[in-house]
Amino acid sequence: MKTPKVHVRRKPYQSRAKLTQEALQESFVRLLHEHSADKITIREITNLAGVGLGTFYEYFSKKEDLIALTIHMHIKNNAEALKSYAQSLINLSTVSSIKDYLAQIIHFQLERIQIQQFLWAQVFLLERQISNIESYCKSYNMMVHMWESILSPFILDSIQCQHISLNIQRIYYGFISQTLLINPNFQQWEILETDILQAIPNT
């Protein structure tokens, strides 16, 4: 059953507060390598983060809120990394066509996922278990906007750019998420990369 809208009780405006919230997220991720999310307790998270239970409840009303924020930040950080990489390709003039441009970005993304394969598999699983439709749409739309930003130097028509970006996200997200949900230990990355590129429509 989906949880209601996630509420973060205290937004980390101050640097110390931000660091505390990040420490809680990092502790949760570390504990995921030991056992499943439903077995992880708030006390385990706070003990590893070096804070008290009271501090946890300053920011979150329940564990699911921390998980939802961790998923969102993971996706957001990944989107920023992809945009930065795409901009570096433009700045260095290392692309000869939009097809080559997308191929390099997809390759970069798959390399990043392989490095943190366990975490990505857990993110996709927890996203299905924890995220409500509003949170899911927010993350999905963020990725579509990321693709729009990446494609805008090549596709000047904004409507066309939006449509192609949506289709790329549908393909990219579907291939990767379904692959890791079915097989978290998946190893045939070169084949997956080829399949994704073949499925992306010609632009």
**93 Ramachandran zone, left/alpha/beta (phi>0; psi -120 to 50):** left
Residue in the block written with tokens 């949880």: 3
Q: Within 13 A of 52's CA, how many CA atoms are on the CB side?
A: 3
- Residue 149 domain-assigned? yes
The 10 Å CB-count burial string (b at 16+, else e) for 61-74 is eebbbbbbbbbbeb
Q: Is residue 151 part of a domain?
A: yes
d(C-alpha 129, C-alpha 142), whole Å: 20
Q: In this structure, is residue 82 part of a structural domain?
A: yes
Residue 135 pLDDT grade (very low, low, confident, very high; cuts 50, 70, 90): confident
In a domain, 29, yes or no: no
> Residue 181 domain-assigned?
yes
User: Is residue 36 a part of any domain in this protein?
Assistant: no
Answer whether residue 169 is part of any domain.
yes
pLDDT digits (tens, 9 = 90+) for 1-57: 344 455 555 554 567 778 889 999 999 999 999 999 999 999 999 999 999 999 999
Please tell me the distance from the alpha carbon of residue 57 to that of residue 8, in angstroms, as a whole number. Answer: 9
* Domain annotation covers residue 6: no
Beta-bridged to residue 153, according to DSSP, are none
pTM for the complete prediction? 0.86
- 69-88 pLDDT tens trace: 999 999 999 999 999 999 99
Task: Print the domain residue range for 110.
Answer: 65-199
Count the domains in the chain. 1
- Apex 135 CA angle, 161 and 140, nearest 5: 20
Task: State how far Cα 172 lies from the chain centre.
Answer: 12
CATH of the domain at 160: 1.10.357
Residue that is written with structure tokens 């991720």 in the block: 29
